[in-house]
Structure 1
């Protein structure tokens, strides 16, 4: 999944510290200084990390033409791992023990401690030679789009191991810190900009339905028995930010908007007084999970998954949407994106970007794709801000929550 071609995927990070203001020669030189370079002598480290241009995994010739796009830097992180599979280690150990045993006279197949040590040394020597030769090298390229203007970085892969390496190399190279923007973090960012964070830490998950059967038996923690009418949302409790349940409420709100308000959301256009009308549609897939951790998970696939009876049953029994296939349209520009949205983590994946019809060169295509990625991130932030404007108003949210609850109840199978 690349920003250069094909479908795109990204999670988001805010960037703080001594970041460059533009994609200038200084920024390009830092990429060059920390370019990927494979260890050429001896056994390599288990993990090797460095920057590549993003055109392919071996390209480390950074230039403005490849990597500089006005207020954005486009590059990639190469991560190589050198790890011998455990089955290979065990096989070599067995083979060397058999070889040592075969060299003994009158052997009954039992090895002394010294002979086992010899077999182990032979095994380690063989593995080190093969590691040094690169036999077990596995290379991965992670696309990176750094929006210098917005102080935000889009990472084209997810996973703790990748994020850990990204944090480290960005700190070592550009002297910046990254903070992953899940739904809780983006909510803080939006509310902080408006000076409205006073009540944020006190908000709790909303109950759109009665707790499912069995909730009273399981809804307990170190503080004792809790109010079972408030869903614990276990995946948010275990997440980077305990307010990530807001992303799931946001996705449920979008679902309600789709069915009760024709799938149209009006958002503020950043830096202007303009309002943009955004159309949404759920399509292809819908993943749901019980907010009380008693009803299990459910995955629905096919056209219009939210219209299925199983989706209605899941809502009624306390399941919340976590991930959904969506079609998002900017009505003013007529641009359309197909994607999968993981709401609690705010991850957009498998994004089919609008075709750059007016592109005259390969660089024009990449520039159009960068703008399109920035725009879809902006659209989701705008829709989320619209949701938060209601969610953080106690009176408005009480009315909206009741409306959503009635909508859920109305879908109950007769």
Structure 2
């Protein structure tokens, strides 16, 4: 499972309502009583979700010594579905319609024949589903960090994470809240008595004549200011280019940062599309600067961060703060076990959040107007340099 070895990819959920000071045998029994594969999926309407021991797709074994590591619960979730592919359903429907309409003078099936064809296809789907031929199994690793009330889900948010969250909430009687740039900013605001200031923030204008009202990728169901994640990446880019590559974090530690490997930018108005740049130093390429000057904002970037002697390579998604392709660099001369790896995941998560906290403090302070003005000038100066080079 990726949390215990290899590269990492995860999104996070805050956990509330779990009152136990540590994981015990009772919690392992809950996993076992809801393990995957106990119920076979034979209907196209059924989706079965259950826990896995964590080793592989069919691992049914749970044990406190195996699944509880360094104050964290590690296991898997398997989602079994039994859906007939849409292309096959459509083919069956066309075949039924052709057979029913072959004797029609018009060659077109009647309304009654269309209804009959649909009913025949549904019956066939039920029969085919019962064979298990189209059964699909997906597994996702989870790491529940009890120490920090944080759940790491080894996949992207969507249907899979929804099923996983529902299973955990039902079985452990807890509540999960998806972590995003906006929720991190609001929690920072609560902790620092700046919540009102955070809630009053609106998207900044970095390029004249490119004011952002509604941002195309913002969820209409969320009130969290996730656009701050995009602004954070642009501010970080500007800071690294013009100020420093080393930051003092709120806990008085230091982090060194470098943007590398990949950069994705997109028009927040949904008008001029997306640009994906792959290079050793993508932010230094002229096409990256040109994209920002056209009003695009960063949505994803690769980066290397070093804190307290620990180096991480990762890709950060701006709005969700999802991490992918993360590698933990380990000195070959140092013994590094699974407990150390879980501590490293905690450090990675904390480091990214603390970096964002530095930005949040700037964003709600009087210093932001200065930063914004300098970013605007930086982009304008780059534009003028490109025009001179072209001339």
Q: TM-score, normalised by structure 2?
A: 0.88
Q: 1:312 to 1:90 in 2, by over 3 A?
A: closer
- Write the distance in 2 (CA, Å) between the matches of 1:50 and 1:179: 20
Q: Does 1:250 align with 2:232?
A: yes
Q: Does 1:379 align with 2:356?
A: no
Look up the match of 2:25: 25
Q: 1:236 to 1:90 in 2, by over 3 A?
A: closer
Kept in 2: contact 1:21–1:71 (CA 8 A): no
Look up the match of 1:279: 256
- Write the distance in 1 (CA, Å) between the matches of 2:70 and 2:4: 16
Kept in 1: contact 2:43–2:82 (CA 8 A): no
Look up the match of 1:186: 184
State the secondary structure of the residue aligned to 2:3.
Answer: coil
Q: Does 1:323 align with 2:286?
A: no
What per-residue deviation string (whole Å, max 9, x for no partner) do you get for residues 197-248 of structure 1? Answer: 1222111111122024xxxxxxxxxxxxxxxx45543323647344111111
2:156 maps to which of 134, 155, 158: 158
Q: Structure 2 regions of 5+ residues with no counterpart?
A: none
Q: Does 1:266 align with 2:248?
A: yes
Q: TM-score, normalised by structure 1?
A: 0.83
Kept in 1: contact 2:44–2:126 (CA 8 A): no
Look up the match of 2:14: 14
Look up the match of 2:377: 406
Q: 1:206 to 1:114 in 2, by over 3 A?
A: closer
- Write the distance in 1 (CA, Å) between the matches of 2:232 and 2:196: 20
Look up the match of 1:337: 312
Look up the match of 2:137: 139
Look up the match of 1:57: 57
How many residues get paired? 384
Q: Which deviates further from its counterpart, 83-92 or 195-204?
A: 83-92
RMSD: 3.0
Q: Structure 1 regions of 5+ residues with no counterpart?
A: 213-228, 270-274
Look up the match of 1:310: 287
State the secondary structure of the residue aligned to 1:13.
Answer: strand
Following superposition, which runs of at least 4 residues in structure 1 exceed 6 angstroms of deviation? Answer: 96-102, 108-122
State the secondary structure of the residue aligned to 2:60.
Answer: coil
